[in-house]
């Protein structure tokens, strides 16, 4: 943590804004009274792999209570709402989809692509020390499927006695409580925490259909870490999370069975305009998603001698989902995830540090549905996934300016889909992935990182990519792994009072798995075209004074049209963010302004979305004619968040507002609700998402730290 | 009297002439085969007027066999009782579930269902409605 505090800097150039004194005629020693805890650089300097770090205080400034909210709008990161009704939020890195993002806890994979569909909202921030964001295929040694990259949740080390309680509440039923207790010393200790959140739904146009679902989440966790003697270190953690998403209705309708009739044609008035008030049965528009998750993990590290240590890690998670969708069906799944890793780290000499390891990942997903399977007789998407891998990594310190990581991974992946009537119900592939990470320190100020990596992923379930079209069943036609080649270059400048990072990432994605909605049933298959996805980012952090830091970033996501057409909702393509963090006395004031650029929504399939449905004038036809197409060009928009904290001896008062100007796409006249044409019928859908769907939230709270 | 008898006989004859007749077409937008089979024709209350013409028909949007009945994971076979709609050259009908609806266009100047050209259907599929049109109906090759 103290890496980001510059208490003493040796400089050779003039500094104008920080006080200095001379110790002798040869050296100027600068000591800055840097009261602010804002890091000067988001990039972990020591790491060859480019890692952007998000501190706990930065998470607090955003009023983020889940991982999805914490990482949103960070450089290269988007938290995308893929379904306004059910509230699914996917985290995308470098423009790649949510299923290409791997989430680790303390460096260990802990989530599957199925469990992360809703799981990003369930991951609590209590007990988190900081987040590491590693973008690019091959960013994580133990997660080859992280084609977009990996996010590592680093938990608090229980090495001191501490108690923290935080309570925040505000408008729109917002309530957050976090409690954390730590007992330990340098040899280890125990950490126990709990979190409970609630955010009410938003219906900004008051038409009785929500644009953002009601979300409630609660979790508990425990971590025990101990050094035993000089050679052994053990770390264990366990947790339980619950999440409930209630969407569609403003009355938090809790369906217990799927609706018998979902026809809403006559429920928006005579002209069937979805901007009118909905007057029909609430069960026809309600989504209810419930998640229960039990997980555990840990590691055991043993030093054989001064040069060699062995480390074993494991992660287990069982997640149950129960859901009822307004598309008229129920869908439940139980997902069991297991991960084991064993590695040997060995210092070969002063220049080479070798790691050799094997890992095994296993996932069993079983789904059930009264409507889809028992009533309709559709095919099941249950599967068993097994992969065993081996890897070798050489961290080569070539010189004091050059460092190279060479990695080779081999994985054998097997997928066995339960339903043998599927077009393809097995996948058995071996993949070899080389990776190279190179860091060059040009001088005290400038450095470069270049990385090349290969990532591959076995697509497992259409559900991980898209739900909602399952009311007519699906077919599985996956024959290949998704493969991505990624090259990333970052140029970094770190001065005394500022840092700048310019980065470029290019991903070549082959065999992208997607759900082809224009067939009946929907087919989950590999795309034939190869896609190039590029990201350019510029990040600058400037200390104006020791107490005032400005951070600005700009991101460009350059996505091909064939890729856009397969995304569930529109991605952000250009955006900028400016953050001001100002400390004055015992107070801290943070302002964050976000700008998102305009987009052509028709590229994302939004040309299928309409506001009204008319009767076909031909008396022969029963067809409905969609009319009044929804906006096809999303405008640029601006949002602002504010945060204030006043520190006292053992407690702090805080207050803030998210979305200060209450900007939502619905208030601009464009709710996500639409009539969507879909092969031979038109149905109500809630995917016309291009802007914020949560309005202004005012909040205040208290934090006690003992 | 003799003329009337012949006229009535021809009406009856024309009403029954196309029973158990299958017409094949293609679904609008997909080109998938579809079919209409006339199973029985009669007059309501045995009163032989155009207004009383009735027919029992079966339609399918997937032509799985010679008789035009559907195949697939779920039932694509629909039965209707149809009658004149009151609109020119069009018959309409309701299925036994009182929910599924059908309109049938016939060629102008033809009698009864002797020359259907297309049908349009709205049916309940699980918990929601679908609509489709079967166009370019032609007498099945084996008829």
Confidence of residue A45 (pLDDT cuts 50, 70, 90): low
Helix (H, G, I), strand (E, B) or coil at A561: helix
Interface of A with B in 676-695 (CB under 8 A): 679-681, 683
pLDDT confidence of A474, banded at 50, 70, 90?
confident
Interface test mutation site (partner B, options A267, A622, A676, max chain B beta carbons within 10 A): A622
Asked which of A402-411, A520-529, A649-658 is least confident by mean pLDDT, the reply is A520-529
B-chain CB neighbours of A623 within 8 Å are 120, 131, 133
Q: Where are the beta strands (DSSP E) in A560-618?
A: 574-584, 587-596, 599-600, 609-615
Residues near B13 by Cβ (< 8 Å), separated by ≥ 6?
none
User: What tokens does A343 get?
Assistant: 């590695």
Q: What is the pLDDT of residue B128?
A: 77
How many other C-beta atoms lie within 10 A of the C-beta of residue A584?
A: 10
Q: Mean pLDDT in chain A?
A: 88
Interface of B with A in 84-103 (CB under 8 A): 87, 90, 101, 103
More confident residue, B66 or B10: B10
pLDDT over 80 (residue B3): no
Half-sphere exposure of residue B83: CA atoms within 13 angstroms, side-chain side: 9
Higher pLDDT, A289 or A145: A289
Which pLDDT value is given to residue A462? Answer: 75
**Which residue has better confidence, A677 or A406?**
A406
Which pLDDT value is given to residue A43?
A: 61
B2-139: CATH topology? Lipocalin (2.40.128)
- Predicted confidence at residue A5, as pLDDT, reads 25
Residue B106 touches chain A, beta carbons under 8 Å: no
Q: Which of A272, A208, A90, A73 is nearest to A687 (CA)?
A: A90
What pLDDT digit, counting tens, does each position of A522-560 carry?
A: 889 999 999 999 999 999 999 999 999 999 999 999 999
The conformation of residue A519, written as its DSSP 8-state character, comes to S
- State the sign of the Cα–Cα–Cα–Cα dihedral A678, A682, A685, A687: positive
Instruction: Please tell me the distance from the alpha carbon of residue A641 to that of residue A656, in angstroms, as a whole number.
Output: 8
Enter the tokens of residue A396. 């080569």
- pLDDT greater at residue A43 or residue B112: B112
pLDDT at A18: 26
Q: pLDDT tens digit string along A228-244?
A: 988 999 999 999 999 99
Which positions ≥6 away from A518 have C-beta within 8 Å? A679
Is the pLDDT at A88 greater than 60? The verdict is yes
Contact between chains at A680 and B132 (C-beta distance less than 8 A): yes
A507-521 b/e (C-beta count within 10 Å ≥ 16 → b): bebbbbbbbbbeebb
Task: Please give the Cα distance from A295 to A84 (Å, whole number).
Answer: 28
Query: pTM of the full predicted structure?
Result: 0.86
**What tokens appear for A668 in the block?**
């601009």
Give A650's pLDDT tier (boundaries 50, 70, 90). very high
Where do the domains of chain A lie?
Answer: 52-705
Nearest to B23 by CA among B67, B56, B70: B67
pLDDT band of residue A11 (cuts 50, 70, 90) is very low
Tokens of A191: 């950490």
pLDDT of amino acid A377: 87
Say how far apart CA A1 and CA A673 lie, in whole Å. 45
| Domain coordinates in residue numbering, chain B | 2-139
User: Residue A464: what pLDDT?
Assistant: 62
CATH topology of domain A52-705: Maltoporin; Chain A (2.40.170)
Handedness of CA A86, A334, A154, A75 (dihedral sign): negative
Q: Are B36 and B119 within 8 A, CB to CB?
A: yes
B93 chain-A contacts, CB cut-off 8 A: none
Euclidean distance between CA atoms A649 and A647, whole angstroms? 7
How does residue A330 score in pLDDT terms, banded at 50, 70 and 90?
A: very high
Q: Tell me, rounded to whole angstroms, the distance of Cα A136 from its chain centroid.
A: 14
Of A260, A265, A377, the CB nearest to B127: A260
Cα–Cα distance measured from residue A551 to residue A577, given in angstroms and rounded to the nearest whole number = 8
pLDDT tens for each residue of A123-180: 888 899 999 999 987 667 777 788 899 999 999 999 899 999 999 999 999 999 999 9
| DSSP labels, A608-652 | GEEEEEEE-SSTT---EEEEEEPPSEEPPEEEEEEEEEEE-SSEE
Chain A hits for B73, CB-CB cut-off 8 Å, are 376-378, 473
Q: What is the pLDDT of residue A445?
A: 93
User: Which pLDDT belongs to residue A118?
Assistant: 83
Which residues on neighbouring strands pair with residue A110, listed in sequence order? Answer: none
Which of A80-89, A222-231, B16-25 is predicted least confidently? B16-25
- A537-559 burial, b at 16+ Cβ within 10 Å, e below that, comes to bebbbbbebbbbbbbbbbbbbeb
User: Which candidate, A480, A664, A531, places its Cα nearest to that of A96?
Assistant: A531
Mean pLDDT of A646-662: 96
ipTM surpassing 0.90: no
Position A42 scores a pLDDT of 62
**Nearest CA among A274, A276, A280, A346 for reference residue A310:** A346
Cβ-proximal residues to A250 (8 Å cutoff; 6+ apart), any chain: A201, A203, A208, A209, A210
Residue B64 has pLDDT above 60, yes or no: no
Residue A314 touches chain B, beta carbons under 8 Å: no
Asked if residue A58 has pLDDT above 80, the reply is yes
With a pLDDT cut of 70, the percent of chain B lying above it is: 75
The owner of tokens 């890091």 is A39
CA A465 from centroid of its chain's CA atoms = 14
> Which chain A residues are Cβ-neighbours of B29 within 8 angstroms?
679-680
3-state helix, strand, coil in chain A (%, to 5): 5, 55, 40
- Residue of B74, B103, B120 with shortest CB distance to A376: B74
Sign of the CA dihedral running B14, B19, B21, B24: positive
Supply A674's token pair: 């639409």
| A681/B128 CB distance under 8 A | yes
Distance CA A544, CA B79 (A): 78
**Burial readout A591-603 (b: 16 or more C-beta within 10 A, e: otherwise):** bbbbebbebebbb
Burial track A75-91 (b if 16+ CB lie within 10 A, e otherwise): bbbbbbbbbbbbbbbbb
Shortest alpha-carbon distance between residue B90 and chain A (Å): 8
User: Quick check: A220 and A239 in contact, CB under 8 A?
Assistant: yes
Residue A90 has pLDDT above 60, yes or no: yes
């Amino acid at each position: 943590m103290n890496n980001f505090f510059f208490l003493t800097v040796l400089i050779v150039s003039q500094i104008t804004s920080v006080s200095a004194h001379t110790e002798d005629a040869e050296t100027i020693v600068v000591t800055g009274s840097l009261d602010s805890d804002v890091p000067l650089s988001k990039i972990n300097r020591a790491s060859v792999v480019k890692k952007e770090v998000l501190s706990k205080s930065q998470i607090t400034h955003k009023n983020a209570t889940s991982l999805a909210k914490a990482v949103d709008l960070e450089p290269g990161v988007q938290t995308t709402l893929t379904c306004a009704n059910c509230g699914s939020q996917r985290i995308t890195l470098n423009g790649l989809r949510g299923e290409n993002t791997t989430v680790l806890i303390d460096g260990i994979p802990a989530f599957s692509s199925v469990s992360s569909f809703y799981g990003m909202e369930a991951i609590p921030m209590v007990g988190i020390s900081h987040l590491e964001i590693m973008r690019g295929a091959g960013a994580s040694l133990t997660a080859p499927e992280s084609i977009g990259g990996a996010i590592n949740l680093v938990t608090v080390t229980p090495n001191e006695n501490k108690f923290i309680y935080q309570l925040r509440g505000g408008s729109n039923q917002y309530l957050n409580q976090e409690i954390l207790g730590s007992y330990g010393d340098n040899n280890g200790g125990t950490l126990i925490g709990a979190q409970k959140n609630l955010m009410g739904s938003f219906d900004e146009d008051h038409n009785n259909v929500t644009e953002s679902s009601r979300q409630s989440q609660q979790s508990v966790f425990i971590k025990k870490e101990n050094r035993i003697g000089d050679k052994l270190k053990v770390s264990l953690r366990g947790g339980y999370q619950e999440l409930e998403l209630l969407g569609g209705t403003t009355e938090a309708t809790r369906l217990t069975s799927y609706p018998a009739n979902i026809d809403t044609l006559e429920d928006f008035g005579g002209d069937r305009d979805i901007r009118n008030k909905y007057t029909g049965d609430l069960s026809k528009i309600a989504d209810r998603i419930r998640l229960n998750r039990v997980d555990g993990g840990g590691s055991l590290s043993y030093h054989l001698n001064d040069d060699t240590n062995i480390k074993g890690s494991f992660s287990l998670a069982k997640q149950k989902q129960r859901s009822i969708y307004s598309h008229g069906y129920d869908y439940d799944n139980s997902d069991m995830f297991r991960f084991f890793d064993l590695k040997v780290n060995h210092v070969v000499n002063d220049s080479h540090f070798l790691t050799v390891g094997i890992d095994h990942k296993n996932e069993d997903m079983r789904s059930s549905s009264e409507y889809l399977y028992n009533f309709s007789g559709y095919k099941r998407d249950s599967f068993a996934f097994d992969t065993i891998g081996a890897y070798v990594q050489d961290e080569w310190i070539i010189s004091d300016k050059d460092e190279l990581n060479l990695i080779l991974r081999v994985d054998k992946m097997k997928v066995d889909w339960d339903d043998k009537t599927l077009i393809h119900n097995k996948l058995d592939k071996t993949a070899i992935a080389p990776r190279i990470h190179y860091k060059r320190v040009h001088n005290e100020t400038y450095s470069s990182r270049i990385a090349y990596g290969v990532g591959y992923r076995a697509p497992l379930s259409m559900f991980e990519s898209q739900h909602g079209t399952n009311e007519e069943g699906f077919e599985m036609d996956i024959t290949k792994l998704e493969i991505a080649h990624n090259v990333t270059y970052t140029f970094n400048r770190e001065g005394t009072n500022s840092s700048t990072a310019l980065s470029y990432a290019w991903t070549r994605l082959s065999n992208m798995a997607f759900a082809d909605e224009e067939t009946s049933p929907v087919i989950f298959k590999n795309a034939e075209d190869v896609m190039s996805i590029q990201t350019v980012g510029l990040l600058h952090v400037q200390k104006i004074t020791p107490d005032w830091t400005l951070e600005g970033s700009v991101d460009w996501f350059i996505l091909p049209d064939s890729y856009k057409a397969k995304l569930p909702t529109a991605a952000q393509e250009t955006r900028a963010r400016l953050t001001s963090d100002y400390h004055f006395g015992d107070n801290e004031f943070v302002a964050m302004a976000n700008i998102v650029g305009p987009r052509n929504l028709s590229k994302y399939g939004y040309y299928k979305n309409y506001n009204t449905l008319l009767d076909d004038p031909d008396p022969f036809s029963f067809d409905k004619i969609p009319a009044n197409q929804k906006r096809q060009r999303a405008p640029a928009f601006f949002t602002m968040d504010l945060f204030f904290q006043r520190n006292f001896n053992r407690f702090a008062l805080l207050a803030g507002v998210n979305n200060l100007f209450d900007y939502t796409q619905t208030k601009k006249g464009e709710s996500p609700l639409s009539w969507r044409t879909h092969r031979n019928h038109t149905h109500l859908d809630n995917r016309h998402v291009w802007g914020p769907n949560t309005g202004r939230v005012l909040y205040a709270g208290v934090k006690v730290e003992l | 009297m003799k003329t009337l008898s012949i006229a009535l006989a021809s009406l009856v004859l024309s009403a029954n002439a196309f029973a158990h007749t299958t017409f094949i077409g293609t679904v609008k937008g997909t080109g998938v085969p579809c079919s209409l089979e006339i199973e029985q024709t009669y007059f309501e209350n045995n009163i032989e007027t155009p207004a009383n013409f009735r027919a029992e028909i079966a339609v399918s949007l997937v032509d799985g066999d010679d008789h035009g009945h559907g195949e697939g994971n779920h039932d694509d076979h629909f039965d209707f009782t149809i009658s004149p709609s009151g609109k020119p050259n069009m018959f309409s009908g309701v299925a036994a579930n009182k929910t599924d609806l059908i309109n049938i266009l016939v060629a102008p100047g033809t009698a009864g269902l002797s020359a259907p050209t297309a049908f349009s259907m709205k049916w309940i599929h699980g918990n929601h409605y679908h609509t489709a049109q079967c166009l370019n109906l032609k007498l099945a090759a084996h008829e």
